[in-house]
Every structure is written in C-alpha cells, then in structure tokens.
Chains A and B, each alone.
Chain A
C-alpha cells in the first residue's frame, strides 16, 4: 500500500554542520508537508510543498519537492542546538496523509 519512507532514522551532527533528511513515496503525491517535533512536544507544521520541483526556504531550512512529486528533502544549513528534534514528512495522496517514520536530529554543541 501507499507509504512514505524517510531516511535516515537518526542523525548526530556537530553544531555548525549541515543536515538533510529525505522522504520517498511509492506513488505520486499531491503535496508534502514537513513537521518538527521537539522531545515531549507535539508536531509543529513547518511548510507544505505543492508544485513539482518546488524549492522553499525558511532561514537556514531549505525544502525541496521532486519533479515527479514522489520525493522530498529538508536541508538545514549550519545546525544549531535549537534544531534538535524529530523531523517528519507527511505526503498527501487521495486526500489521506502518510507520515514518514521521522528523522531524529541530535546536535552536539
């Protein structure tokens, strides 16, 4: 069935290093969303990508949606300790959301 695969599961970086998480869908998505969840917190919506090949930036965060609308990535430049948390993608297909398994980011100061 429909699913969204997300890698890596964990990422440990030194503060200042870059970080990227990837999501891949088995089928074409109508859109994809990205969320951040801090330990003990609830998911916080970051962005939604809709168009094929779309690239959006939010300060140090860059989001991409693949040309085939089957994959997406979130890249963080020069990580900071405030970036710690789990990043989830959620692909939308046929009016349903399919969450990736999340990438847990740890940033060492």
Chain B
C-alpha cells in the first residue's frame, strides 16, 4: 500500500495565523482526501483534493478557510487559515488506491492546537 509522509506531526499556533499541512505519497494516486478528527471523535471529511482542479468541499467547509492544493498525483497541501481555538483538531490526509481491490491509507495526522 501507499506510504504517506504527513508534515508537520503537530504544531501550536497563534490565533489569526495560518498553517499549511503537507502530504507526500510515494506513488501516484488519483483520489486524495482531507479529514478532521477531534480527539476521541469520528472523522469528518473536509474535502477531496482534485489534481489540476479546485478541491471539492463538503458542507460546512469553504475554500477561503481551508484552501487545498494538488499540484500533482503524489502531493497535496491543506491550509488552515485565520485560525481560532475551534480549529484545534487532528487533520489527516488519506488516499485511495486500486490494486485489484480498493484500499485506503491515512497519513499519520497533524495535531493542531490553536492558542
């Protein structure tokens, strides 16, 4: 399965600033996703990162707040903009692969604390 390098693993940020999270995959993948997970809670899909076009955002998430880049089939970034303490969460990228059957791999996550 794909190996994902997600950076940073954690950060503490001041409110009003922005943080960019990166995910690098060791193989080309068509589908990449960005999720948010509060500690002890389930996962919420933020958006699907589309290569060469604008990301597809889920209800409640907007591009101005969570801009996403997908310059190629192995890399994506998620920016959390103008942060507030409510943005404190774990952010995860995920990829979909096809090797005869579908498989899904998550990055190790970015634990963000906004103070």
**A and B pair up:** yes
> A42-B92, A48-B102 are contacts. A100–B42 as well, Cβ < 8 Å?
yes
B101 interface residue (CB < 8 Å to A): yes
Q: Count A-side interface residues using an 8 Å CB cutoff.
A: 15
Report how many A-B pairs have Cβ atoms within 8 Å. 37
Residues from chain B with Cβ under 8 Å of A44 in the complex: 106
Chain A binding surface SS class: strand
Chain B binding surface SS class: strand
Residues from chain A with Cβ under 8 Å of B104 in the complex: 33, 35, 45, 48
> A48-B101, A48-B102 are contacts. A43–B43 as well, Cβ < 8 Å?
yes
Bound-state CA distance A102–B43 (Å) is: 9
Taking CB atoms and an 8 Å cut-off, the chain A residues in 72-107 that contact chain B are: 88, 90, 96-97, 99-102
Residues from chain B with Cβ under 8 Å of A101 in the complex: 41-42
